[in-house]
Amino acid sequence: MIKPVDAQTGTFPSLNTDYQPFITVALLFANGISSIADKIYPKRFSYLKELHESASFEILKFEDVKVTIKGSKELTFSGNNLYAHDLRAGFCMCLMASLFEQNVIIENFDQVKRGYSNITENFKSFGVDLTEES
């Protein structure tokens, strides 16, 4: 079971800012309130507003460098169209769609491809059909 936490990105040995979106997505499944602060790259939270429109979690507070969310092990997802604001945000969109076995269109998918070579093949190795449309 995933437990709520208060996390903050920082330089080594702290939580690397690159991992912030992945940790945050995991915390959406934590039953309770978590907060994540990212003073290094706070714009990285843009994906969270996008996911909030499609998933059943609460954003309790959205500050400049910190977000407080209320996750749930009963999380539901109803996304159809999502936008990859950056590389890691796009990967999180792929991850959320695959966890809920939904057909989702991820716009600006080139953001994901530029950082993850063979992403469609890699997801397929886990049984997830990630199809790129032209």
Q: Tell me the domains of the chain and their CATH numbers.
A: 6-124 (3.65.10.10)
Percent over 70 (pLDDT), the chain? 99
Residue 5, SS3 per DSSP: coil
HSE of 25, CA atoms in CB hemisphere, 13 A: 24
Do 78 and 100 meet the contact criterion of CB atoms below 8 Å apart?
no
What are 42's two structure tokens? 């706070």
- Mean residue pLDDT of the chain comes to 89
Side-chain-facing half-sphere of 124: CA atoms under 13 Å: 8
pLDDT at position 134, please? 62
- How confident is the model at residue 8, as a pLDDT? 95
How do strand 105-107 and strand 81-83 relate by DSSP bridges? parallel
Summarised one tens digit per residue, pLDDT across range 7-49 is: 999 988 889 999 999 999 999 999 999 999 999 988 888 888 8
Q: Sorting pLDDT into bands at 50, 70 and 90, what band is 100?
A: confident
pLDDT score for 5: 96
CA 34, CA 24: separation in Å to the nearest integer? 9
Q: Is the pLDDT of residue 65 over 80?
A: yes
d(CA 121, CA 131): 10
Measured in degrees and rounded to the nearest 5, phi and psi for residue 67 equal -130, 140
What one-character DSSP code corresponds to residue 44? G
pLDDT value at 3 more than 90? yes
Whether 81 has a pLDDT exceeding 70, the answer reads yes
Mean pLDDT score, 64-85: 89
Identity at 79, one-letter amino acid code: G
Strand 32-37 with 6-8, pairing:
parallel
List the one residue out of 60, 49, 115, 56 whose CA is nearest residue 82.
49
Which pLDDT belongs to residue 26? 92
Mean pLDDT to the nearest integer, 45-68: 90
- Of 20-24, 98-102, 109-113, 116-120, the least confident: 98-102
